[in-house]
Amino acid sequence: MSMQTDVLIVGGAAIGSAAAFFLATQPNFKGKILVLEQDFSYEKSATALSAASIRHQFSTPENIRLSQFGSSFLQNIANYLAVDDEVPAVSFKDRGYLFLATPNGISTLKSNHSVQKSENVDVTLLTPSQLSFRYAWLNVDDLAAGSIGNRGEGWLDANGLMQGFRKKAISLGVQYKQARVEKLKRAGRKIISAELTDGTSIAFDKVINASGIGASALAQTAGIRLPVEARKRTIFFFTSSAQLENCPMVIDPSGAYFRPEGEGFICGIAPSSQDDVECDDFVIQHHLFEEVLWPILAARVPGFEALRLKRSWAGHYDMNTLDQNVILGAHPDVDNLLFANGFSGHGLQHSPAIGRALSELVTFGEFRTLDLAALGWSRIVNNRPYLEANII
């Protein structure tokens, strides 16, 4: 069987559905949009398994601007995603990120702070005594400073956002089909069709690779090496009788994080670099909680010495191994294949801005709102990393 569309989007989670929504609302785009998603349960997607948090405290202007649009999108979600007056439940909690620094980390914190200030991020540096005053539950003995985001940072319901994009896109005429793309067929500078596992061939004008950790394998079928690998991250949910008044998302100097979630808290930490290898299983890294996280949590918040681990789950970052930032747009050798991969743990919060950017690339062949050229393929093919210092 063969099919035809104008724009094909491979992967229908946060990024694919955001792209579908923004493209469907582009006044200058008139074509048909088809989203292919291999699993409508989304249970293994990074979107569904994420910590679902948003921050403006990045070290590069592009990441800051992507998140700033993300927050404004969440705050105005009814204007974007309501369908028949029904507004998606994204439950955005505007509670801030608190980055903590020891004397070793103070210069990085301060240099990030000046980039953030120059991008109008509402962020405040706090001394240890100011930290103690605001957060009486926090141990500040080893700290030199903290940085708190005052507005626009927090957490949300990732599935609610993704389903909101999807539902609105469908209401605007976007077609979703459950199917797996096996291969992109290339002729010179063009991808001419997508071949599905059931033998169907789909022709199109443009194709977007929004397939998360599936992106490298898909790119490879078109002869393109995408430096993105699946790296496992485990999230642990626990309860504690400790009362943490006014608790934001806390980023410990060790790299561990925790934040309130429902009746308890979630937390996580990246595995050590020698354990952080490419892997696509979902086996939970229990040792991380017992051996690494709990001691860090109990040292930072004495009330966490007594806690009860309730559940945990593992998902995968689509890790850009060159510089941990998204690779956005067309590869220099192929004109009609757009990439949005390698988010390395910050793709959910960037999905509104990336979806909008992709819709501009499809419609105009260039960025029209945020200039995201620095996140394109050029740095990848020239091996010039554009590093983000604040990776969690």
Ligand X SMILES: Cc1cc2nc3c(=O)[nH]c(=O)nc-3n(C[C@H](O)[C@H](O)[C@H](O)COP(=O)(O)OP(=O)(O)OC[C@H]3O[C@@H](n4cnc5c(N)ncnc54)[C@H](O)[C@@H]3O)c2cc1C
Summarize as ranges the residues that interact with ligand X (CB under 6 A). Answer: 10-11, 13-16, 36-39, 42, 45-47, 49-53, 180-181, 210-212, 214, 218, 233, 235, 315-317, 343, 345-349
CA angle 211, 279, 390 (to 5 degrees): 75
Structure tokens given for 305: 């010495």
- Closest approach of Cβ 387 to ligand X, in Å? 18
Please, which residue, 16 or 146, has the CB nearer to ligand X? 16
Nearest CB to ligand X, comparing residues 140 and 256: 256
Residues whose CB falls within 8 Å of the CB of residue 54, separated by 6 or more in sequence, listed in order: 67, 70, 71, 74, 152, 153, 154, 155, 156, 348, 349
Q: Of 10 and 140, which has the nearer Cβ to ligand X?
A: 10
**CB nearer ligand X, residue 140 or residue 259:** 259
Query: Could you tell me the smallest distance in angstroms from the CB atom of residue 296 to ligand X?
Result: 17
Taking the complex as a whole, the smallest distance from the CB of residue 148 to ligand X amounts, in Å, to: 17
74 to each of 154, 174, 181, 352, 372, how far by Cα in Å?
11, 22, 31, 9, 21
CB of 30 to ligand X, least distance (A): 25
Give residues with Cβ within 8 angstroms of 284, minimum separation 6.
234, 312, 313, 314
CB closer to ligand X out of 36 and 144: 36
User: Taking the complex as a whole, how short is the minimal distance between the CB of residue 128 and ligand X, in angstroms?
Assistant: 26
User: Exposure string (b/e) for 279-308, b if CB count within 10 Å is 16 or more?
Assistant: eeeeebbeebbeebbbebbebbbebbeebe
CB-CB contact of 108 with 389 (8 Å): yes
Q: Scanning the structure block, which residue is given the tokens 């740095």?
A: 379
Closer CB to ligand X, residue 144 or residue 214? 214
In whole angstroms, the minimum distance from the beta carbon of 28 to ligand X comes to: 24
Residue whose C-alpha is closest to residue 165's, from 230, 70, 235: 70
Write the CB contacts of 234 (distance below 8 Å, at least 6 apart in sequence): 268, 284, 285, 288, 289, 312, 313, 314
Q: What's the sign of the alpha-carbon dihedral 48, 50, 55, 56?
A: negative
- In the complex, minimum distance from the CB of residue 266 to ligand X, in angstroms, rounded to a whole number: 9
Q: From the CB of 125, what's the least distance to ligand X, in Å?
A: 23
Return the residue nearest ligand X (CB atom).
347
Residues 18 and 355: beta-carbon distance below 8 Å? yes
Query: H or E stretch including 298?
Result: helix 294-300
3-class SS of residue 37: strand
Considering the complex, state which of residue 144 and residue 370 has its C-beta at the smaller distance from ligand X: 370
Q: Which is nearer to ligand X, 21 or 140 (CB)?
A: 21
